[in-house]
Chain A
């Protein structure tokens, strides 16, 4: 999957999870920028992303995520 493809699919996941059909995310987006993205939601988000892309992150990987950009990179690494 290319970066833009992942970004597109990830946007859908975000929109569905945060119940906002107009939500836009960029590489620089962090939890602070999205309403409702607290630590509880973060766990739900990770689980939803794993499910949507059919992949699994390690605990260490999840803990070192800084922003959406690094998430996309991680997905790119995992997706076959």
Chain B
């Protein structure tokens, strides 16, 4: 990410710097460029800008317009290069040709194009673990219908917009795909400036050379985020940064906040910061002030959007800011290069830049109304979530909050569970879910009876062994959200003894006390009855973390048949003796287990 401002992104300057570049001592990153635009002008820019961030980028440029050929062929140069990042750049000029060509058949244009794009991702996934940066298309500026195009089905701009949406929707289900939002850059710059028809004609250039550095920087931001290098903390000055004026002089009643912040500049800035905090960015305060006086603003001023609870580390004293920032870093135990320092005072900014070169100190304009703009221009808060579930985690926590507030309204737990309208889907292991199954098996520690760590390959083997194994999963959804796959059970057949053995039973802790384990157990005994087993046998193998399931089998009426010295227990129950548990979970897709 850029550290101060965007002035470094000057095409001519970067081309010059590329000539004298020596990045050999930096860690390497292998990046492949696949495009239906020419990438030659982009290469030197990527080299210089990656080097600015301490990375020696090694670039493989695939032949012009060989995206499908390179990705579908397992022995292509792309795969022998073994890239860590694959950048796919697609041109709106090419897309427009396809669109015009498809006249009379535009209804499914976005779907068909998206299918092709997704097929490339799948092809890559088969042969490579690389992170894929998929570009969005620049929406064209021509409007064959004028504004009315917004109301028309197969309008050019509308179709491109729909394609971009389709790409992003599908990308959520591909953990290795990240979006490289070229359309955002084009819109930011102005579409009529971004696209250069002459350069396209001459050199098949993605955009005017002037804006290639912005495209390059975008690629760097996303690549770094995918490597885990992202900003974690914003350190904030107070006077003239979070409010107008100086609280030590103007007093609580006199600072520019709330009613006294007429143009709402500080309010906007605080909302933005609060939003970052909600997103997971830590906020800290580093101010030259009396601590009590500073805290009072957070506690008492009605115009404050940020409150003490949003601030993880609050330092207000008269010492130098570099020393205080060092203290903050130590408290949070993060790197200086993951910290951003915002201060309206150029003296303080420069001091901190000199004394702590790794920290990011954006230039702030004189006008507070422009603070949000100045900070967002640097795109400091890029992030990369590694799995579809991880990226939904925030949503999941929000959904959980909704559920928790709902639970206040019900008289009994049963009533509450009923109101959740929970549905479950029980399925045998399938190829599509093996990844998630293996992930749960590797990660579950607490609600895990035997903690057997099977690899994806071993799960696959059990999936295919229809005679000896019945492995199944439960996926859960309720009114507020989708939990996905949250329970894994592996049943093993021991026919000589007419026994059904519970080899593995584990569950995500997110769904405790909702009836999931009861539903799973019901399924186990349905199956046992169906296949005429005489008894069902379970094991508990104690670990440091799974104490919570020590009495799991007991609660279902199992009889304990063995106890070992280390505390491992074995249990048995006959299907005829098992009492099915009542659960408030519907199974709309019930398949006979």
A-to-B contact residues, CB < 8 Å: 16-17, 19, 39-40, 43-44, 46-48, 57-59, 62-63
Contacts and interface: CB of A to CB of B under 8 A. Distances in A.
Nearest to B41: A40
A43 B16 contact: no
Contact of B198 (A16, A17, A44, A59): A59
Given A47-B199, A62-B198, 15 more contacts: A19-B19, A40-B40, A43-B202, A43-B203, A43-B205, A44-B11, A44-B15, A44-B41, A46-B202, A48-B12, A59-B197, A59-B198, A59-B201, A59-B202, A62-B202
A58 B201 CA distance: 10
Nearest to B43: A40
B209 interface: yes
B209 A43 contact: yes
Nearest to A48: B12
Contacts of A17: 12, 15
Nearest to A17: B12
Contact of A58 (B15, B198, B208): B198
Interface of B: 11-12, 15-16, 19, 40-41, 197-199, 201-203, 205, 208-210
Contacts of A48: 12
B35 to A, nearest CB: 15
B19 A43 contact: no
A10 to B, nearest CB: 16
A44 B209 contact: yes
18 contacts: A19-B16, A19-B19, A39-B203, A43-B41, A43-B199, A43-B202, A43-B209, A44-B11, A44-B12, A44-B15, A44-B209, A46-B202, A48-B12, A57-B198, A59-B197, A62-B198, A62-B202, A63-B202
Contacts of A58: 198
Sorted nearest first, the 10 A-B pairs with minimum C-beta distance are A59-B201, A43-B203, A40-B40, A59-B198, A47-B209, A19-B16, A43-B202, A19-B19, A62-B202, A59-B202
A16 B11 CA distance: 13
B455 to A, nearest CB: 48
A43 B16 CA distance: 15
Contacts of A40: 40-41, 203
A40 B15 CA distance: 11
Nearest to B203: A43
B403 to A, nearest CB: 57
A3 B15 CA distance: 29
A48 to B, nearest CB: 7
Nearest to A36: B19
